[in-house]
Amino acid sequence: MRQRLFRNASPTLRDFAAGVRTKGDAEYLVYENERYTFDQVFQRVDVLAAALVERWGVGRGDRVAIAMRNYPEWIVSWFAVTSIGAVAVALNAWWTREELDYGLRDCGARVVLADAERVERIVPLLGDLDLRVVAVRMKDAPAGVERWEDVLRGSSSDRMDDAPLQHLKFEVVSPQHLARLRSGRARRPLRQEVFVFSEVC
């Protein structure tokens, strides 16, 4: 299989994120009437990453699922998970409850970051899954589910601008293995090659 390679590309997602951070107060994400600068996004990335490490002990190689539509929180989640060496598992937002059940079991996720619609499908599964659920854009979270805002507020700092990652120790991973997944609308999600960021640099 032929692949296009970029000679000057960042070697890891974490290196890529480090370069993006330098853009500071330039506008980064726009969602409806919401606008976020690079600084605002990566402040949230750092706080969420700290919460994943401190609250749930997520580390290198652990799976964290993302199940939501294209909200700004999706980008925050992806960068936060990969910044600590964990594996971000992107679940298809169109999946039914049965498909989500299969996907969560198959990947072995320890935490799932999900929007309200996906949370409603996941909650009935929690009795059989050892899983922490964080609800995005959900005003009243059901029992056993934590709201995104509360998780960010309750991590290593109560302030978004305190850069909580500075005191945490992370393992940097190499791009020796690259992840590419294909989802399907069958009773079982369809998969092609599956590669995982795994080697410590």
In a domain? residue 195: no
Give 4-34 pLDDT, tens digit per residue: 777 888 887 778 888 889 999 999 999 999 9
| Domain housing 26 | 13-159
> What mean pLDDT value characterizes the chain?
82
In a domain? residue 105: yes
Is the model's pLDDT at 64 over the cut of 80?
A: yes
In a domain? residue 23: yes
> Taking the model in full, what pTM does it have?
0.79
In a domain? residue 84: yes
Closest CA to 168 of 53, 15, 62: 53
Alpha carbon distance 153, 34 (integer Å): 20
CATH of the domain at 108: 3.40.50.980
Give 175-191 pLDDT, tens digit per residue: 444 444 444 444 565 44
Is the model's pLDDT at 79 over the cut of 70?
A: yes
Q: Taking the C-alpha atoms of 100, 32, 83 and 106 in order, what is their torsion angle to the nearest 10 degrees?
A: 10
pLDDT of residue 194: 35
> In the numeric block, which tokens belong to residue 138?
């959900």
Number of domains in the chain: 1
Alpha carbon distance 36, 44 (integer Å): 11
Q: Please, are residues 82 and 13 in contact by the beta-carbon 8 Å criterion? A: yes
Residues counted in the chain:
201
Alpha carbon distance 108, 163 (integer Å): 29
Q: Please, are residues 90 and 66 in contact by the beta-carbon 8 Å criterion? A: yes
